Structure 1
Amino acid sequence: MAGGVDLSGKELNDLDEEELWELINNHRDKITLGVKPCMLTAYLRQACVLSDLDEEEILHCPKNINRCMRTGYMLDILKTRGKNGAIAFLESLMIHFPKLYTQVTGKEPTMEHSSGVMKHSELTEYLVKAMTEMQQVQSQEKSKALLMENRCFQLEAELTEAKRRVEELGNLDAEFKRLQREFNLRYQELLRVKDEKCNLCMRYTSAVEESSLMASRCRDLQLESESEFERKKSVDLRRRSEAVELKEEIESLNHKLLQFDPAREDILVQNLVEEQDSKLELMEQIQSLREEAEKAMCERDEHFEEKEALLLECQKLRLDCEMYQEKTAAFQVQLRELQKERDQAYLARDEAQSGISQSLSEKDSMRLQVMELQGQIFELRKQATQMKGQMERQERPILILPNILGHLLNERLQEYQEFQLCQSELLSDSEFAERLKLGDILGVKERQNTYNCYTKQAVEAIMEKNAHCLLEVELDCVRRMHKAEIFPIIIFIVTSEKSARKLRKKLQKQGSSEEHLLECYKAAETLLDKLPCLTRTISSETWSDMESLISCVKAAVAKEQKKIVWIEQDLR
């Protein structure tokens, strides 16, 4: 009779659903206090009574703040699975908590399971193979991720180069805009110069025409003045000759007057006066003609001066025109250079934009690949977490190196509830040979008349108490423990002369010395690389005395207990 349910002569499969859950509920307090859900979920998932989502909710739901609440929540979920949930739960208790199974059912645990689940050894072998395959896949994925990361770095470098080219392109674009503005200004100036050139050409043409008119006018005036001067000169000569003739005639008349009578003299005097008056008129005409000639000469000189000024202005206009022609030619050369630079800037901008587009498309595709790899890595981590939950059944044993330092620490660690020192067994020769064949012998402490051995049963007894087993064995015993499916946490404490001096008194009480400790440290250090598993190293700089060293060891044990166990593939 177990908790009100009669199990005499009955198997668990013979009970109905209500009887099974009544049996479990009658011992619910013991179950919630003594069971760790993380040790049962792997088996329950394998029995198909829990899903991955159920396991994650049981172990990580924020509402379940302690282990008892998680266990109760797991029982509530299993109850919805009916009879199969109850049977699978009781079988998981039989595997991981045999004493509690006996208290609940009143039966001794057996290795025959009714749910068709793999045995413990088969499950361990399957998990080791699965972990090895997953390790290989993860290594391949890491290689792919490394390649993708290198490609990302390369793309980032190309993107940086593209950004630099974009910046250069921006500078070129700004320079192009500046050149374009300058080109427009120069072009406007060129148009203005062309207009000025046209105006100058028109002015030059009009000036040349005016100069030609002035030259012809000057020639006409010169000819006219010369002809007038000749005419006046001829008139003057003629009048002079007439005056001489008149003078001669007057003299002849005066001579005749001496010979004629007075009446005739009056007539001659009168004629003489008339002749004098006409002479005065002629003299006045000559004077006016001279004045006109002088005026014509002044006008001719003025026309000559005006002609010289026009010729100088024409020469100046010709020089200005040549200068503007040279300036126009220089503007055209600069314009062609600006057009060439503009075309080159356009071409460089198009090439840079094409390169940037290609780099961005490649980076987008690489991002997609990285996201896919991250998703695969996430799945692998999820699988690793699930496998880790399967492997975390019991607290792992602890081996501290070097052995002398491990002995000192074990004396202190066993004072804590979660640590317990492994006790050796005395075996005779026949017992030792028989137990060795069975694989029960993990290590031999010393041999006198009998064998003082550390056995598999002694280690498992401590592990079943959910405590860390403190071992004091040599490193060559690690492979034996792995073959016995016992995977210890190996902690290697780096030891120097300075750190050894800190433990001088402790060593002397043990009957050892600093030199002996350093020799053991060097011997253990040479054997570390030959171990088939990973080790945890504690630096000598992280502790100053025994208390701080114990704190470091406890922290290292807590971290290593949470990790997945990695072993060599050829152990079996």
Structure 2
Amino acid sequence: MEDDECWVQLEEYRLLLTKTIEPSQITPYLRQCKVLSCDDEEQIFNDPNLVVRRRKVGALLDILQRTGHKGYVAFLESLELDYPRLYHKITGKEPARVFSILVDTVGESGLTQFLMNEVTRLQKGLQEERRRRQEAAAAAATQEDTVRQHQVRERELRKQQERVHRMREEKDRLWEEVRHLKDENYSLMHNVTKLSEEKNSALMSNRDLQLEIEKLKHCLMNAESDSKIRTVKLKNAMEQRPSQDRMLQLQRHNHLLTARIQELEASAQGTAPAPLDQERLSAESLEDYKQHSQAQHQELVNNIYTLRRDLHDAEALRDRYLEANEVLDLKCTTLKKDAKMYGDRMEGILKQMDEVIRERDKAIASREEYHQENCRGLQEKDQYRKQIRELGERCDELQVQLFRTEGEVIALQTRLHRHTCSQHDKSQTSEEDCKDKLTKGKKSMTSDK
């Protein structure tokens, strides 16, 4: 009845026990106490239905429950040995580690043997734990080395990315400078084209003015030739006109003839009549003479009239020619003044053109000088930029070498740390071997006693 009560009380903590206990830790003590057989242990660890740890703990509790109070006490002593906190929680007592069941079962020598086995097992577990710690430390060191190598590579990659970024910025800046130079070249070409157009327009204006001057010169020459021709004609006409002496001579001759006719008529009236034949002859001769005189008189009158008319025409022609000559002289003077004005204007334009050409040549020379200076500045800038780029590349290479050297130093430090840890582990292993030898010696001495 007491056995059932003990296991009923323990059944309340069954869930906690199955959750906490590892069967492989308590089965050696239970086997030493002879509450667990080899078959039971084989069933617990090798039964295919008991794969889960909690099922194994449940099967172990069921097997121990069949052993009664002895199994209960042996189970609590195993908890006291391996799970002292769980023992305190179940029983409310502090672990005393009396091991009464083991002493009653196998005696003190069995207890000593069990304790030695437990010490050996714990030492093996400690060695295994140390080995795992060493492996974990080596893996951690390897991972740390890998992480540091990755950090070094990341630094190198970051440096390369910074370099690529700088090169892209430099490419963008150079492209912007190229675009600016293209715009400047376009503006210069536009200015050159504009100056060329202005030069061509000035040359066209100059040619137009020269053509206008040639036309004016041609008109002046035509006017001068017309004036000379008309002057010659007027001079010839004035030379062909009868002179004043000739006119006076003809007038005197006409007066003499008129006086002669009057005298003849007066003498004919004053003389006595002559015989008929003589009178008839005289009358005929007088009549002939009169007719001849009248004819001469008429001819002279006609000549005078003709001469007067020619004189009038000549005077009118002279006046007209004089007026035309004055007009032509005025036109000639005007044309000369215009030609002089156009010549002065053309001379001024030519002077301005010369000044413009000199200024243009000066501007072209200054532009060429500025262009050469700009080219020199660009060449120096390219040289400095090349030097800066080479220095930057050298700096990047040195930084990469520094990173690689740091990685190598870290790797060497890791190897040194591993070597130190291995030496320390070897020393600890040798100490443990010495302790094992001493323990075995004590065990052999105890068995001899």
TM-score normalized by the length of structure 1: 0.37
Greater helix proportion: 2
Greater strand proportion: 1
Q: Which has the larger radius of gyration?
A: 2
Structure of higher RCO (CA pairs closer than 8 Å, 6+ residues apart): 2
